[in-house]
Each structure stands twice: as structure tokens, then as C-alpha cells.
Amino acid sequence: MPYGSAAVAASRGLRLPPLPTIRDLVKLYKLQAIKQMSQNFLMDERLTDKIVKSAGRISDTDIVLEVGPGPGGITRSILRRKPAKVILVEKDRRFLPTLELLQECSQPLGIQMDIHQADILRFPMDKAIPDVSQRLHLIGNLPFAISTRLLINWFKDLSLRQGAFRRNDTTMTLTFQKEVAERICAPLGSEQRCRLSIMSQIWTEPTLKFIIPGKAFVPKPDVDVGVVKFVPLKEPKTDIPFDVVERVNRHIFSMRQKFCRRGYSTLFPEEQRDETTYEMFVEAEVEPTLRPFQLSVDECLRLTEVYWQLIQKNPEIASYDYRGPKAPKEEELVDY
């Protein structure tokens, strides 16, 4: 078996035993990326080290859960930081041999590694991480096809303090298409500001750490990639149920180029839409002719609060679907 140089400077972390390079392993096991699964391999160890460094300090008592490790490039960089435990969640069984090789190397280093062949969207965090006495880091080069859905799922878990977020210091360091990463972190007034911006900034402080050019991946995607770190806020900005917050903001941003009242108004039955919308904006003290991207997190939450109060008095409004029974479900509304 051909071996490449895997040695790194001591300043970059723990020195791993000699291993084949990721490029060699990909060739050896004939691992071709599957387009339908949005797979792209990151071969450059300098970049994988930079991703893991963006996660912040990882101590020898911490747990790191990596999403979609593939052949294990980022996994190697995680091991160099010597956490107490590494949990790998990989859906594609073709990568198991290369990950098991890393598992063998981790044992003499005193690092426990668990490998789960599973879909991260259905992965039982509570069972995989029953002990919450150790700090958890979530790291992953996410498949583009699931990145937004997974992020929303994790925000919901964070709001409920469940799953990976039973502690309030679980950080996420994740990759997204560059445009999505920029939208997540978009500040007030940015035309890129969208539902993801608001949802991210209600429960976390997201930071765009750096951009990886598409040419660094194999195969090269059509877009560049942004690495975003999310740090949970010590105090979330609302205690309104997550599904209500998401519903309101999805409607607000479903008509991005129109006044914010237009999308918001679709929360209400047509026969009472104009009057109710007017009352909600007055009560929330929000200017109805602002564009959605001009709304602050606080203004979005005030609009959510008055809607929440209304549906508690009139529960039937919560199930109203302005698109009608033959139209797409609400989950299919997009904000970009």
C-alpha cells in the first residue's frame, strides 16, 4: 500500500501515525464522488486544518461529531486536536474502510472513535451522546442538498435544548455554498438577508470564517464554499415556539422584493387579511413598507409575537394555508 507524508508540524496539533494520503485512499478504494449525494472531497490538509481551527479550542475532554466525513480528510485534522471522542456519521458505506483505518490509528492515541453508517437527518443524538458532561462540537463539510434543512433542524433542537444542544455551548462549524453562507451571516440592510439570516441570529451568533475556492474540491463544484461557525447565544432572543417563528419568517421572506406586509399578510384568511395585517403591524410597531431584508431580528420577532398572541386566541388561523389544498405545502416556500 502506498504511503504518503501525513506528518505535520507540532504547532498544528498531534502527530498522527504514517497514513496513506486522502488522494491515495480515494484512488486505492476507487471512491468516486456521487453527484446525487452532493459529494465533494477536500484533499488539502491545510484547508481541513483551517476548518477545524475555525471551530475554536478543542480540549482533550471534548467530543467532536463530524457530519459526512467521506474519506476522512477533515477527520484527520480533528484527530490532531486530540479530543476525548470523535463520532463520525456517514451515510455512504463505501467510505467505511478508510474511516476504519483512522479508527485503528486513533486507539493508540487514546481517542475513542465511533463510526455510524447513518443519515444525519435521522441520527439519534441522544443515544449516540447520552452523557452531556462533555462539551460537543459539530463539524462538517455538508452536502449542499441537505445543508439548509439540517441547519433548520438543529436550530429547532437548539430552541428546545434537545439532541446535540442539551448543553448551551455546543458549537457548529459547517460548510455551505458561498451564497448561502453569506445569507446566513447577512447583516441588517444587506440584500442577501433572508429567513436563514433571521433564524440563525435568533439562536446563535454566526460568523463567516473564510471562503474555500471550488477548485480545492474533487470534483470541482460550480460554486465556492463558505465555512460558518455558529455559537449559541446564552439567552435566545425569543421563547416563542420554534415552528411559529419559522412559519412567520418564511411568510415574510416569501416575497422578498415586495413590502414586508405582503408576505406577512398571507398568514391570514383573505376575508380578514388587510384589516388583520394592518392591526398586527401597528401593534408590533413595525413599518409595513419596509422590504423584508430591511427588518431587524427584533422587528421580525415583534411581528411573530403579535401573530403568536393572535393564534392563541384564534387557533384556526394557525392552520390557514393561503395557497390552497392543491398548491405546494408551506415547507416548500423558499426565501431565495
User: Angle CA(240)–CA(242)–CA(245) in degrees, nearest 5?
Assistant: 70
User: Angle CA(213)–CA(218)–CA(221) in degrees, nearest 5?
Assistant: 55
- 142: helix, coil or strand? coil
pLDDT at 3: 39
Task: Give the DSSP H/E element, type plus range, for residue 86.
Answer: strand 85-90
**Where do the structural domains in the chain lie, given as residue ranges?**
10-232, 242-332
Q: Please choose, from the candidates 296, 269, 266, 270, the residue with its C-alpha nearest in 3D space to the C-alpha of residue 284.
A: 296
pLDDT at 4: 42
pLDDT at 181: 98
Largest CA distance in the chain: 73
| Fold of the domain built from segment(s) 242-332 | Helicase, Ruva Protein; domain 3 (1.10.8)
Lowest-confidence segment of 49-53, 129-133, 321-325 by average pLDDT: 321-325
pLDDT at 19: 72
pLDDT at 30: 61
Q: Please choose, from the candidates 77, 25, 31, the residue with its C-alpha nearest in 3D space to the C-alpha of residue 51.
A: 77
What CATH architecture is 10-232?
Answer: 3-Layer(aba) Sandwich (3.40)
pLDDT at 334: 54
Given a cut of 60, is residue 33 above it in pLDDT?
no
- Pairwise pLDDT comparison (39 vs 154), residue with the higher score: 154
Note the pTM of the prediction, 2 decimals. 0.88
